[in-house]
Amino acid sequence: MIKQLTILATALLLGATTSVFAASSTDLTITGTITPAACTPTLENGGVVDYRRISAKDLNATTNTQLDEQTLELTVSCGTAATQFAIQPIDNRSDSQGPMPEHFGLGIINGSEKLGFYTLTLTNLNADVPSRLIQSADGGNTWSNIVDNTAILRESLIAVGSLTPPFSPSDITSATMDITVKPSINPTDGLTLTDEVQLDGSATLQIVYL
């Protein structure tokens, strides 16, 4: 607020003392589209992946322990209005993320210990138009194809797109795909596991209209 007042005072002073100068201006333009489409994502099993009870003695002390993969079906339905959309995966446990941009966090235990991380892969796309899965790491400015078994990036945009380059999102009304969860527990020599602890991974798959 102080900077704004200073700029305003200076502008008034210049306007009062330099009237021979031509006025300068710039335009602000606001654009956007309101779409009637409403796409709804749905995950099989309510989006819950349950590893039940895991014995601490079965975990590795000095290397990560990868748990069994689990796969859920993801469905996106846009009713009868074909539209371009993307899925943006948001990590709700960002304080426990792993070292790579595709590592989602499994939660903090004992106040400060990162329990582990998981990755997400998308496969077996079935859409109402011939298409493939594509990904953008720069907010939709550029797109690349998602290679099978390649983990998706946190905060990236995942779209159903064209089969061949240059890749771009397609207008679709519905799509299904498999989302595979691959968790890893950090080495136990850096974890305190004298009491029971909970795996606490949580991610939001947010629909973004393009």
- Looking at the domain assignment, is residue 114 inside a domain? yes
39-44: average pLDDT: 91
Q: How confident is the model at residue 30 (pLDDT cuts 50, 70, 90)?
A: low
- Looking at the domain assignment, is residue 61 inside a domain? yes
Query: pLDDT for 51-92, tens place per residue?
Result: 989 999 999 999 999 999 999 999 999 988 899 999 999 999
Q: How confident is the model at residue 119 (pLDDT cuts 50, 70, 90)?
A: very high
Single pTM value for the model: 0.82
Task: Tally the domains of the chain.
Answer: 1
> What is the model's pLDDT at position 8?
41
- Looking at the domain assignment, is residue 176 inside a domain? yes
Domain residues for 166?
41-47+54-188+198-209
Instruction: Please list, in sequence order, all residues whose beta carbon lies within 8 angstroms of the beta carbon of residue 138, skipping any fewer than 6 positions away.
Output: none
Q: How confident is the model at residue 182 (pLDDT cuts 50, 70, 90)?
A: very high
Give the HSE-up count for residue 87: Cα atoms under 13 Å, Cβ half-sphere.
30
CATH number at residue 164: 2.60.40
- Looking at the domain assignment, is residue 76 inside a domain? yes
SS (H, E, C) 11-58: HHHHHHHCCCCCCCCCCCCCCCCCCCCCCEEEEHHHHCCCCCCCCHHH
- Looking at the domain assignment, is residue 34 inside a domain? no
Burial status of residue 96 (CB atoms within 10 A of its CB: 0-12, 13-18, 19 or more): buried
